[in-house]
């Protein structure tokens, strides 16, 4: 009798859990990511073992019901299915040369086993391990990576690409995750919906959002590098050495898209995302000031050009 636990069933389950893991990672749900990632690795590891022979899912000790069933020696499956755990499956694959020894992978499985009770906050540390393990197993069993990862293929490639440093990987991964969120949220909506929402949330012009003794910060509308819609708030700052007489040379140091959630946190990430690092604006371009008390355009011009960004406390 053929086993009811098949290679195709395990492969399909591994794919579903792997996608759920990356979805959770994109949304910042660490515990869910660790749970789903661990299950995805376990399912694919068991699929690799079944590909060799179903008996490899049996425990050596205890009841021999599962061993007999997987070997096709019994006519009915056991009342309760109990196969080897993830750690044992990985150990057998390592003995077969399909996977290398990895403390990070072992750590992922341990977190999967304990996260429901203890919680964890180390998803970033295990994303690369998770993706690399899945891809190694796919190669071992002769499955196409792109077919398995689907819409997540680009994000997976970025995670594995050794030519990127950590900062570049972080930005490009967030960009791919933002595109996935954008498609999930707006893909099925009527034509024109995105443009309508973008007009509603986008604030045109140059807006001052903060001013203190060291710098002045602004916000302006920008095209998002991820979803490519004009719905992102680009954050800029002016410091004394970059202030010109009739123009302000502003430095871009952050971004947040209201549609896909893509964000950049500093000047380095702005450059990695391909946005211009500086922008020249005239004081007359100001359309709005901070809510705590308006700083008039003329006062701001004086404030920016009065030597060291003098703090206009009386203006607030």
* Distance, CA of 19 to CA of 113 (rounded, Å): 19
pLDDT of residue 162: 85
* Distance, CA of 223 to CA of 234 (rounded, Å): 9
For residue 254, CA distances in Å to 110, 218, 257, 263 come to: 36, 10, 10, 7
Which are the contacts of 203, defined by CB distance < 8 A and separation ≥ 6?
Answer: 219, 221, 233, 288
* Distance, CA of 223 to CA of 204 (rounded, Å): 12
What tens digit of pLDDT does each residue of 263-313 get?
A: 999 999 999 999 999 988 877 777 765 544 444 444 544 444 443 333 322
pLDDT of residue 295: 46
Which are the contacts of 56, defined by CB distance < 8 A and separation ≥ 6?
Answer: 49, 50, 92
* Distance, CA of 2 to CA of 48 (rounded, Å): 17
Which are the contacts of 194, defined by CB distance < 8 A and separation ≥ 6?
Answer: 186, 229, 259
* Distance, CA of 221 to CA of 139 (rounded, Å): 44
What tens digit of pLDDT does each residue of 165-199 get?
A: 888 998 999 999 999 889 988 988 998 899 999 88
pLDDT of residue 136: 97
pLDDT of residue 313: 27
Q: Which residues of the chain have pLDDT under 50?
A: 1, 116, 121, 243-244, 291-298, 300-316
């Amino acid at each position: 009798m053929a086993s009811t636990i098949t290679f195709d069933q395990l492969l399909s389950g591994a794919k579903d859990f792997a996608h759920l893991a990356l979805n959770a990672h994109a949304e910042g749900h660490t515990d869910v990511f660790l749970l789903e990632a661990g299950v995805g690795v376990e399912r694919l590891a068991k699929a690799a073992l079944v590909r060799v022979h179903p008996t490899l899912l049996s425990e050596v000790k205890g009841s021999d019901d599962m061993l007999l069933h997987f070997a096709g020696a019994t006519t009915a499956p056991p009342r309760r299915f109990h196969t080897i755990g993830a750690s044992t499956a990985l150990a057998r694959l390592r003995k077969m040369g399909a996977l290398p020894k990895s403390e990070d992978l072992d750590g992922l499985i341990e977190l999967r086993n304990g996260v429901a009770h203890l919680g964890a906050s180390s998803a970033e540390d295990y994303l690369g391990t998770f993706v690399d393990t899945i891809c190694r197993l796919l190669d071992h069993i002769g499955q196409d990576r792109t077919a398995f990862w689907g819409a997540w293929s680009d994000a997976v490639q970025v995670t594995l690409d050794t030519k990127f440093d950590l900062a570049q990987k972080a930005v490009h991964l967030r960009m791919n995750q933002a595109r996935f969120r954008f498609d999930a949220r707006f893909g099925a909506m009527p034509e024109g919906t995105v443009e309508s929402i973008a007009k509603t949330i986008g604030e045109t012009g140059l807006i001052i959002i903060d001013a203190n003794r060291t710098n002045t910060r602004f916000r302006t509308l920008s095209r998002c590098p991820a979803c490519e819609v004009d719905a992102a708030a680009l954050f800029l700052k002016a410091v004394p050495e970059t202030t010109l007489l009739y123009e302000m040379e502003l430095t871009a140091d952050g971004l947040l898209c209201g549609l896909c959630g893509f964000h950049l946190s500093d000047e380095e990430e702005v450059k990695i995302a391909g946005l211009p690092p500086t922008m020249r604006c005239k004081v007359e371009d100001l359309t709005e000031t901070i809510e705590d008390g308006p700083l008039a355009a003329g006062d701001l011009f004086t404030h920016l050009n009065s030597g060291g960004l003098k703090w206009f406390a009386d203006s607030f």
